[in-house]
Amino acid sequence: MTTPASIEARHISKVLGGHLVLDDVSLEVGPGETHALIGLNGAGKTTLMQILLGMLKPESGSAYLARCPVAGPGEPQWSRVGQMLDTAFAYPELTARENIYCSARLHGMGRRSAGVAAQRALSDLGLEEYSARRAGALSLGNRQRVGLAAALVQEPDLLVLDEPTNALDPRGVIVLRRLLREACQQRGASVLVSSHHLDEVARMADKISVLHRGRIIGTLRAGTVDLERRFFDMVLQSDMQGQGQDREQDR
């Protein structure tokens, strides 16, 4: 029996370029849950996602996917994981369909089922008319759609998506929101997304964590009114506390 989906960071700290970019970060995304990570540029969102996906090692703390440590013995079942980090990755020389098909194969699907799944993913993301076009010749938004189709093609139940909507048009945003909702409802997926768009996050996520200067400084409920103001209040308060502590240390 497969373990229920979950994504977990436990007390993760990370130093990059001599700076502490993640400081004791913990969060958990349960099965059937969409959790959004919001924060200003440079807050540490991508770094945290890279650690959760085993692409970077933390200085301390641990990451778990479906309760399995990401580093160490008993690695997670990577076929259950769909991810898209930073700008959507696609082999520029391959067509949209070939990119998505490759992703399905790399996630362990057989030839026939990968072909069927790639066709479905192309259709889900509204990419059919571009299916035979080289990824390198697509617009930014359509390349992001290819990246998302490649992340979703094998119907993963562990999804880590870094700013998945930043190049999408409003129709694409609605489509992605529906696909993520279906993943949660139909296969109990755990979804972690980062975004700068608070109103969009409010529609997509069950829970919102605010990451600021490498620390989780609070959580917001998706239904909260005036999310933007609450976000900035939280950031400002954290900065003021930080300045107060600096002055104490200077004495």
Min separation Cβ 163 and ligand ATP, Å: 7
Q: Residues 7, 9, 21, 217: which binds ligand ATP (CB under 6 A)? A: 21
Min separation Cβ 60 and ligand ATP, Å: 17
Q: Residues 1, 2, 17, 247: which binds ligand ATP (CB under 6 A)? A: 17
Min separation Cβ 140 and ligand ATP, Å: 16
- The reply to whether 212 sits near ligand ATP by the rule CB under 6 A is no
Nearer to ligand ATP, 31 or 54 (CB): 54
What is the SS3 string spanning the chain?
CCCCCCEEEEEEEEEECCEEEEEEEEEEECCCCEEEEECCCCCCHHHHHHHHCCCCCCCEEEEEECCEECCCCCCCCHHHEEEECCCCCCCCCCEHHHHHHHHHHHCCCCHHHHHHHHHHHHHHCCCHHHCCCEHHHCCHHHHHHHHHHHHHCCCCCEEEEECCCCCCCHHHHHHHHHHHHHHHHHHCCEEEEEECCHHHHHHHCCEEEEEECCEEEEEEECCCCCHHHHHHHHHHHHHHHHHHHHHHHHC
Instruction: Choose the binding region for ligand ATP from 16-24, 73-81, 100-108, 114-122 (rule: CB under 6 A).
Output: 16-24
Min separation Cβ 82 and ligand ATP, Å: 19
Q: Residues 29, 35, 45, 70: which binds ligand ATP (CB under 6 A)? A: 45
Q: Residues 34, 47, 190, 209: which binds ligand ATP (CB under 6 A)? A: 47
- The reply to whether 144 sits near ligand ATP by the rule CB under 6 A is no
Nearer to ligand ATP, 47 or 95 (CB): 47
- The reply to whether 164 sits near ligand ATP by the rule CB under 6 A is no
